[in-house]
Amino acid sequence: MTSSKEVRETSVIGAGVMGTGLAITMALNGIRVFLNDLTEDLLNASSKRISDLLADLEGRGTIVSASRVQDNVVVEKDLKKAVENSDMIFEAITEDPSAKRDLFEKLAENARDDSVHASNTSVIKISEIAAGLKSKERIIGVHWMNPPYVAPLVEMTPSEWTGKEVVEITRNFLEKTVGKKVVLSPDIPGFIVNRFHAAVTSEAIRLIDEGVSIEDVDSVWKYHLGILYGLFGPLKNADYIGLDTTYLAGMYLTQRLGREMGYVPDWLSKKIGNNELGVKTQRGFYDYGNETPSSLYAKRVQAIREELRCRQDQK
């Protein structure tokens, strides 16, 4: 398969929460998908979840024909038959490095030599899965968000061995065929999304131990942080706060809490030393060119107002 050649046939291994969602994603995009799991019962349960969801989408008028979409899904318990003709194979089995390595070894034996083998692992380094496997050049991390047929983001993680062409084919498929926003993660534990997820969730749990109610933890995100981080991301948000203020607050918290809350590598200290303090000096993580701070602050207010109006409209 060359990077310009279309991905026509796919496989999804593991028909649980994510595998079922991935089969739906492929089917909705008109791509044939072979869905595999360990038992007929698991496959039948997955098939039922797919038909229920498609019937619901048909009922709402989101798709024209549930049965036509469902025709793209072929349930297949035999692994060889499920993968032998596929251009791209998505692994969505249990989050266990040795189970994933065993599966990728089987894929190397049963799939086409030019097929792409993608792991949906949420946190395991791709090089830990691929090390020593003969198909390691073809293995890549493709971390879909749940539910994958709705969530717009996908994280893509090549390992040190992943071939350039595999990266290109995968990106092309995710962006052009399935229409996702792709972010490229280094091969680090937790990638990008789950590093945030782990940090935020563990801080949320810690705050309960420090006396905050469960409802108030969630309200802080629903009514403030979720809005700002959702609109701008944490780094542009820090630019709006001011990198000097962010640094001083981080240092105070680090001293009082005895753990690192203000990570400041040398390059960031240098930025602060160079008066790159964010929006107020027109340069921080981002370069705002000649746009004045007051215009940038006004845009931010406008964006927050629009977001709040959209939320109100949806109620």
Ligand X SMILES: NC(=O)c1ccc[n+]([C@@H]2O[C@H](COP(=O)([O-])OP(=O)(O)OC[C@H]3O[C@@H](n4cnc5c(N)ncnc54)[C@H](O)[C@@H]3O)[C@@H](O)[C@H]2O)c1
Among 7, 24, 27, 42, binds ligand X (CB under 6 A): 42
Residue 148 CB, nearest distance to ligand X (Å)? Answer: 8
Paired residues of 35 in beta bridges: 12, 75
Q: From 52-60, 86-94, 235-243, 284-292, give the range in contact with ligand X by CB under 6 A.
A: 86-94
58's enclosing H/E stretch is helix 40-59
Nearer to ligand X, 136 or 143 (CB): 143
18 interacts with ligand X by CB under 6 A = yes
Q: Which long-range contacts (CB under 8 A, 24 or more apart) does 295-304 make?
A: 296/240, 297/240, 300/232, 300/240, 303/231, 303/232, 304/227, 304/228, 304/231
Residue 172 CB, nearest distance to ligand X (Å)? Answer: 22
Distances in Å between the Cα of 161 and the Cα atoms of 79, 88, 156, 301 are: 25, 18, 14, 46
Among 146, 219, 275, 292, binds ligand X (CB under 6 A): 146
98 interacts with ligand X by CB under 6 A = no
> What angle do helix axes 243-257 and 226-241 make, rounded to 10 degrees?
110
Contact of 153 with 145, CB cutoff 8 Å: yes
Nearer to ligand X, 140 or 228 (CB): 140
**Backbone phi, psi, residue 276, to 5°:** -95, 85
- Total interface residues for ligand X by CB under 6 A: 23
- The distance from CA 163 to its chain's CA centroid, rounded to whole angstroms, is 21
Burial class (CB in 10 A: 0-12, 13-18, 19+), 190: middle
Q: Residue 87: which of 178, 161, 12, 29 has the closest Cα?
A: 12
Residue 53 CB, nearest distance to ligand X (Å)? Answer: 15
Among 31, 69, 92, 296, binds ligand X (CB under 6 A): 92
Tokens of 283: 């340069």
Q: From 10-18, 197-205, 284-292, 299-307, give the range in contact with ligand X by CB under 6 A.
A: 10-18
Among 7, 10, 19, 75, binds ligand X (CB under 6 A): 19
Residue 253 CB, nearest distance to ligand X (Å)? Answer: 31
Among 120, 157, 170, 246, binds ligand X (CB under 6 A): 120
Nearer to ligand X, 21 or 242 (CB): 21
Q: Which residue has the tokens 């629009």?
A: 306
CB count within 10 Å of CB 127 equals 17
Q: From 142-150, 206-214, 219-227, 237-245, give the range in contact with ligand X by CB under 6 A.
A: 142-150
Residue 75 CB, nearest distance to ligand X (Å)? Answer: 12
293 interacts with ligand X by CB under 6 A = no
> Where in 128-211 does DSSP place strands (E)?
139-144, 153-158, 181-184
Among 7, 54, 66, 93, binds ligand X (CB under 6 A): 93
122 interacts with ligand X by CB under 6 A = yes
Residue 228 CB, nearest distance to ligand X (Å)? Answer: 25
Among 15, 26, 54, 279, binds ligand X (CB under 6 A): 15
Whether the bond into 186 is cis, omega within 30 of 0: no
Nearer to ligand X, 120 or 185 (CB): 120
Residue 93 CB, nearest distance to ligand X (Å)? Answer: 4
CB count within 10 Å of CB 121 equals 23
> What angle do helix axes 266-273 and 243-257 make, rounded to 10 degrees?
130
State the residues that interact with ligand X by CB under 6 A.
13-19, 36-38, 42, 92-95, 99, 103, 120-122, 143-144, 146
